Structure formats: C-alpha cells, structure tokens
Structure 1
Amino acid sequence: MISSWLFIILAVLATFAPSILATDYVVGDDKGWTINFDYQAWARGKMLFVGDNLVFNYPKGVHNVYKVNGTGFQECSAPLDSVPLTSGKDVINLATSGRKWYICGVSRHCLDAGQKLAITVFPSSFAPSPSPTSEKSDRKFSAPSPSPTWGYSN
C-alpha cells in the first residue's frame, strides 16, 4: 500500500517538476519589448532552458512579436504567412532546444531601432539544480562549451 502511494507521488512530481523549475524571463526586464534597447546584451550570460518562458511586455498596438529564422532575424523580415503575437503580454514557452530568433514587425522597429532578440535554449537536462537561496529570475551562468553532438545551426 505504501509503495503504491510512493509511486503515485513520484509520478505526480515527475509530471509537474519541469513547470515548477521553469523560469519566466521578462525580455528587456523593466524596459520591456521596446525600441532602442540592446537585447543581445540583455540575453548575454543568461542560460535559458527547455521549459522556461519568454515574456514580451509592451503597450498593445505599439509593437508585436514574430518568431523568425536566422535569415529573418538578419534581414528583419517575417514570413508572409506568419501571424504576430500582439497581446502586449506575450508568453512564449521554450519547448525545444536550439537557436531562437524574435523580431518586432511594426514599421522599421527591428531594422532601424534594433528591436530583435536572438537566444540559445539549452536542453532541460543541462539545467542546474536550484539552490535554496537563489531566485528563479536571477539564473545566470557561463554557457558550457557546446558538445559536437548538439548540432545547433544558425
């Protein structure tokens, strides 16, 4: 009887542990998703893992968020068939590892004002164990040297 309860408890913990350990990253911190902000500097030193969330905060109707590929990021262009996020509090769950790119598609915000973000998402198996004294939003580490088997591409 005790072993069946233990199994149930472990099964529940295994199901919910990734979401409990997930971190929400507010893109741009207090500045939010805006123009004339260095998002590459903001992302530098942050370790984002599968299961974490990006939160894009901005005044609704002023900006938007497109997920693009590396070429779209470099050229500040979204595919014609893609639909932007426009709520002003867009949450993107980082469900897979690898390189991710986001741009603002309003006017020339990306091209002229640098409103674009490139990140690398690491597999959740690389996530450090949380320490009792650390806050989830302060998770910053030096990136490990990528293994040749990761195969990330730009």
Structure 2
Amino acid sequence: MAHPRQVVVLLAAIAAVACLASLASATQWMVGDNAGWSPKFNESGWTDGKKFAVGDTLKFMYGKDAHTVARVGKDDFAACNLQGNQLGFWDSGSDVVQLNSTGKMWFICTKPGHCLNGMKLVIDVQDGASAPGPSPSPDSSAPVSYAAGGALAAAGAALVAAAALAF
C-alpha cells in the first residue's frame, strides 16, 4: 500500500498536469462585433486581421426569427444556394459554433435574399492557439479570450505542495 505522503504527491502531480493542459487559450469571436450577424455585416472587412484557430468559437447574435446560420460548402457559398448541402444549421439567435478543424469554413443566412445581400462569412481556421485579438475599442467588441491564467498559479501551487510533501 502506498504511503499517504506518496498519494498526496501523486494527486498534486496529477492536478499540476491537468492545470497545465488547460493553459491552451481559445478565443470566442463575436461575428459582426456589436452589429452582430446582419446583412452586409462583412462589408467593413470584419475578418481582416483576425486569426481563427482550432478551439476558437464563433458567436452569431441576431434576431431569432430574422436570420439563420448555415455552414455550407464553397460552391453553395459562392452561389448563395439556400437549398444546398448544409454541414451545420443554427437558428436560436445566439449560436456558438466550435472551430474544430483546420481549413476554410463558409457560412450563410438561409433567409431569402439575405446571402445575396452580403450575409455570408468565410474564415480560414489555422492549427494551434489563436493570436491575441485586437484591442477593444469603445464601439466594437473585442474577442473574448479564454486563457486559464489561474491554472498556472494552481499548477505552481500544486508543484510547490508536492515538493514540500516529498521531503
């Protein structure tokens, strides 16, 4: 049977590893910033300067009955094909889409005329942690970064406790 001190050291080490694993950061991008998911939202180049990464999320905010979000393929995106193959569909008015693979992702609104009026979005998702988003400005929302800063402190405390108990 393990000595109680060994059990405590083992548990502290497990906690430290778990905390360190959670240090990877992810960003939640509010599509369209304060204007939300709306016609012509991307005319100002909403994606310019943004680096989307696996693990990030897109948050689509819009009037529940006014719009939808559909993930589609490149050809359906280009043609604004509302009847095409949908790889995902959301219509709650507050949708969070996980970016779980690399490559291009295409989104459109499936309400008639909306895609043709500019309510469409293409992003290129990269591997790895996303770069910090732009600094917040008074008239737009900055991406929300979720970094487990407290996890570093917890991991450090667990390692100190493990070292102290080992002696």
Q: Distance in 2 between matches of 1:54 and 1:68?
A: 15
**Structure 1 residue runs of 4+, over 4 Å off?**
78-81
Report the CA distance shift for 1:81/1:119 in structure 2 as closer, same or farther (over 3 A): closer
Aligned residue runs from structure 1 range 79-98, under 5 A: 80=84, 82=86, 84-98=89-103
Q: Distance in 2 between matches of 1:138 and 1:56?
A: 14
Q: Distance in 2 between matches of 1:40 and 1:91?
A: 22
Aligned residue runs from structure 1 range 114-129, under 5 A: 114-124=118-128, 127-128=130-131
**Higher share in strand:** 2
Q: Distance in 1 between matches of 2:57 and 2:108?
A: 16
Amino acid at match of 1:121: V
Q: Return 5+ residue gaps in structure 2 as ranges.
A: 1-5, 137-141, 146-167
**SS of residue paired to 1:23:** strand
> Larger Rg: 1 or 2?
2
Cα RMSD of the aligned pairs, angstroms, is: 2.5
Normalised by the length of structure 1, the TM-score is 0.73
Structure with bigger RCO (C-alpha 8 Å, 6+ apart): 2
Shift of 1:6: 4.3
Q: Distance in 2 between matches of 1:36 and 1:66?
A: 16
Q: How many residues align?
A: 131
Question: Are positions 1:11 and 2:14 aligned together?
Answer: no
Shift of 1:38: 2.0
Identity across the alignment (%): 33
User: 2:143 — aligned with what?
Assistant: 137
Pairing partner for 1:68 from 72, 78, 86: 72
Q: Deviations 1:48-85 (Å, cap 9, x if unpaired)?
A: 11111100000001000000111111011245563621
